[in-house]
Amino acid sequence: MASSVDIELDNRQWVLRRRPVGMVGDNDFELLRSPVPELGPSDALVRVHWLGIDPTQRSWLNDGENYIDPVPLDTVMRGSGVGEVVASNNPNYPVGTWVAGMVGWQNYVLASEQGLFGLNIVPDGVDPKLMLSLLGVNGLTAYFGMIDIGRAGEGDTVVVTAAAGATGSVAGQIAKALGCRVIGIAGGPDKCAWLTDQAGLDVAIDYKNEDVRVRLAAAAPEGIDVFFDSVGGPILDDGLMNLAMKARVVLCGGIATGYTAHLPATGPCNYLALTVKRARMEGFIFLDYLDRFPEAFGKLSGWHAEGKIVIAESVVEGLESAPSALRGLFQGTNIGKQLVRVR
């Protein structure tokens, strides 16, 4: 067995104890201390350094149909992350290698195989944290949502909601790279300033302090060609009222619902605008495009290297902060990717 020094004596783990009602609370989980996992004949021990926090993790806590099974009660909370191999019986995972994947909310995890739900080696020269944002679920969702569902092209007017979030920020910059005019909707002056000053979007609308429908009409007088929505609720209705002919509405998420088990009783009020404008509204999951992941990685990496996509990160310290970090996504505390520095 190959190993390194400085392995802690225990493994802290956040275990799901009950299914949240409404906002996630720390008492929905329990922070336990367990022994560090023992290596099997083909295992590698990974010390987790970073956790990625995404709104969709809230939906995994509900006991109902989803694109992925609910997190079982009394098990470690599911979550993506990156870490370093600190001991290994597997030649595919040398000590010192960085890996990314579903590590769970804990200090240590065993790796035995790669693939979609395994732990994959971070390519040389890539910042491991990018595997949780640009080259992870956020970047993939933004890419396929904007390219395939939105079919954004040069000269289009594109609106992105939750535009300062981990997925929206990448989606807006992809649209800019494609030659679109991009309007971002976010909450608060700091986020809006980041959208125009750092991400390079053309217009930023502060939904907390501005009338979104009025601002959209002024900023997109010819209508919206692509409405990339991660929010739902009244903001989706505002977008539907200002569509261009043959518009594409991309349903990426619905953070306004809180992703609780009890969704609103009614849908969009202005859905008939889809008929009048001969528009299309479509949902998708990035997992629909497994065979095209290499294409997405190549394009996203290229745009990033050219400076056409910048990545913002919001960091909280300590594994104990994971539940509050998830809660904070629904309180609008983050710009870009929400990360937890585990150690």
Q: List, for residues 138-158, the tens digit of each pLDDT value.
A: 999 999 999 999 999 999 999
Q: What is the pLDDT at residue 142? A: 98
The mean pLDDT value for 122-144 works out to 97
User: Among 251, 337, 258, which Cα is nearest to 53's?
Assistant: 337
Residue 109: pLDDT band (50, 70, 90) is very high
Q: Per DSSP, which regions of 103-242 are E strands?
A: 108-111, 119-121, 157-160, 181-186, 203-206, 224-229
φ, ψ dihedrals at 91, nearest 5°: -65, -20
Q: What is the pLDDT at residue 6? A: 55
pLDDT digits (tens, 9 = 90+) for 173-186: 999 999 999 999 99
Average pLDDT, the chain: 94
pLDDT digits (tens, 9 = 90+) for 160-212: 999 999 999 999 999 999 999 999 999 999 999 999 999 999 999 999 999 99
Q: Is the pLDDT of residue 2 over 80?
A: no
Cβ atoms within 10 A of the Cβ of 173, count? 29
The mean pLDDT value for 17-27 works out to 93
Strand-pairing partners, residue 158, are: 182, 226
The span from the CA of 4 to the CA of 174, in Å, is 41
Q: Is the pLDDT of residue 5 over 60?
A: no
The span from the CA of 75 to the CA of 80, in Å, is 15
Write the burial class of residue 251 (CB in 10 Å: 0-12 exposed, 13-18 middle, 19+ buried). Answer: middle
The mean pLDDT value for 92-121 works out to 94
The span from the CA of 184 to the CA of 216, in Å, is 10
User: Among 166, 165, 142, 343, which Cα is nearest to 250's?
Assistant: 142
